[in-house]
Amino acid sequence: MTRIGIIGSAGRMGNALQSAVAAAGHEFAGGIDKGGDPKALAQAADVLVDFSAPAALEFNLDAAIHAGIPIVVGTTGLEERHHWLIDAAAVSIPVLQTGNTSLGVTLLAHLVREAAARLGDDWDIEIVETHHRMKVDAPSGTAMLLGEAVAKGRGVALTDEAVRGRDGITGARKAGTIGFAALRGGSVAGDHSVHFLADNERLTFSHLAENRAIFAKGAIRAAEWMLGQKPGRYTMPEVLGL
């Protein structure tokens, strides 16, 4: 039985994670939220799962390092400096960071990368995501994950090719760009589609999340897998052996 500590335990994802811990037969080592002590939680756990906020990431990584345990980071809205912190932590402990812990999305990203690698620039690529009205960041972490998969397939940098908003007279679409569109409303857990559009034909890869339980289940599977890893930075595809 693995002791799993949850950072961000009072939120909707935190509740789903607690249920997933129990369903997998593991021990819930405790949970904290804003103002909680991640170091105390880390001392009581074998692995941490973090679905909190970007502002808390540095403290959470420090807690995992101090305790010498792995951490799964599912927090979205990360900036470049957060990835520097993750890289630094990965020298000492196993760190898995992802924009989406769903096993289905992980496979989707793999398929999207393969498609992007085989289809030329005459195929326009647009990523559309829909989330509940309470989501605070856009594009979603999953949309950015899929964008990175497209960029890797094409051998380009996403930062050079991403178009994250269109308004007014934008001119014709530039070949090779990767477009993003974000929709917000209702209680949607997360819908993502990657559209490949060429003259006279279209190809669409989609994933529809019906319940947050899928993200929690994937996060717990990732936590289980991380226990046997050496220090380093890991991703969800490695959990699935992709």
Cis peptide leading into 139, omega within 30 of 0? yes
Provide the b/e sequence for 116-154 (b: ≥16 CB within 10 Å): beeeeeebbbbbbbbbeeebeebbbbbbbbbbbbbbbbb
**Who's near 172: CB < 8 A, 6+ residues apart?**
none
For residue 135, indicate whether it is catalytic.
yes
β-pair type (124-131, 190-198): antiparallel
β-pair type (47-50, 71-73): parallel
Question: Residue 96: which H helix or E strand, with range?
Answer: strand 94-97
For residue 131, indicate whether it is catalytic.
yes
**Who's near 153: CB < 8 A, 6+ residues apart?**
112, 113, 114, 115, 116, 117, 118
Q: Which of 39, 66, 110, 135 is catalytic?
A: 135
Q: Which of 131, 192, 207, 217 is catalytic?
A: 131
50 with 222: CB under 8 angstroms? no
The owner of tokens 């397939």 is 153
Q: Which amino acids are annotated catalytic?
A: 131, 135
